[in-house]
């Protein structure tokens, strides 16, 4: 254990929440724009998208509730907010824009929820909490991007709403690896369990 991890452990951080009886999956913002370094992508996001394909298959084979998020702003920018003021290029993520569409390999199927949001968290200003609660979800398996932005915001809100967050560490990505790794560490200490896809699959085997 390194010195930083030892400090957290001595102060009581980093305990496991565990996976409950009723998991659900949320895939955050894996849209074309975040798969493309010319827009919002880069780093390890393409690898995370590829790793999420079997995770989505696992969720479907086990009949988990599945939700996917997109950032969606009005064509005329009339619903712009502080987030889009800070990052004006986000306004290009509109309902019909190519960059705002979920990547084809993770396209939603019937019965899966598409959450349209204008803030980092999948929960803020959406009905995701009610949708998950109606399906009795107690554990939220999380994939998507970016680790330091919308993943972190969604994981903190998931915890605040009473869900056990499990961040699938090789199924989340960021345009820069430094923020990715730092935020994985911090979420694992304070608000989520970290598991690679292989460990999640082993947990539900059989």
Radius of gyration of the chain (CA): 16
171 flagged as catalytic: no
| Cis ω for the linkage preceding 105 (within 30 of 0) | no
Backbone φ, ψ for residue 29 (5° rounding): 60, 30
Rounded to whole angstroms, the Cα distance separating 198 from 55 reads: 9
DSSP per-residue string spanning 167-186? EEEEEEE-SSHHHHHHHHHH
List strands edge to edge, sheet with 139-145: 113-117, 66-71, 23-28, 139-145, 164-173, 193-195
Strands 66-71 and 193-195: unpaired
Tokens found for residue 178: 């430094």
Instruction: Give 167's contacts (C-beta < 8 A, 6+ positions apart).
Output: 142, 151, 155, 184, 187, 188, 192, 193, 194, 195
Active-site hit among 150, 160, 171, 191: 150
Residue 165, beta-bridge partner list: 140
Q: Which residues are catalytic?
A: 150
């Amino acid at each position: 254990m390194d010195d930083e991890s030892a400090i957290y452990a001595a102060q009581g951080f980093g305990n496991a929440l565990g996976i409950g009886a009723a998991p659900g999956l949320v895939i955050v913002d894996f849209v074309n724009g975040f798969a493309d370094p010319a827009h919002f992508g880069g780093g390890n996001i393409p690898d995370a998208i590829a790793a999420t394909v079997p995770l989505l298959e696992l969720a479907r084979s086990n009949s988990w509730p599945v939700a996917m998020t997109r950032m969606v702003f009005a064509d005329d920018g009339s619903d712009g907010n502080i987030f889009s003021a800070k990052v004006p290029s986000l306004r290009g993520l509109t309902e019909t824009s190519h960059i705002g569409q979920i990547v084809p390999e993770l396209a939603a199927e019937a019965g899966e929820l598409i959450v349209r949001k204008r803030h980092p968290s999948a929960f803020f200003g959406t009905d995701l909490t009610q949708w998950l609660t109606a399906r009795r979800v107690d554990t939220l398996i999380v994939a998507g991007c970016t680790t330091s932005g919308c993943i972190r915001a969604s994981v903190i809100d998931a915890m605040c709403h009473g869900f056990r967050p499990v961040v699938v560490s090789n199924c989340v990505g960021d345009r820069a690896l430094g923020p990715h790794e730092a935020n994985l560490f911090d979420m694992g200490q304070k608000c989520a369990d970290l598991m690679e896809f292989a460990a999640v699959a082993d947990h539900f085997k059989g």
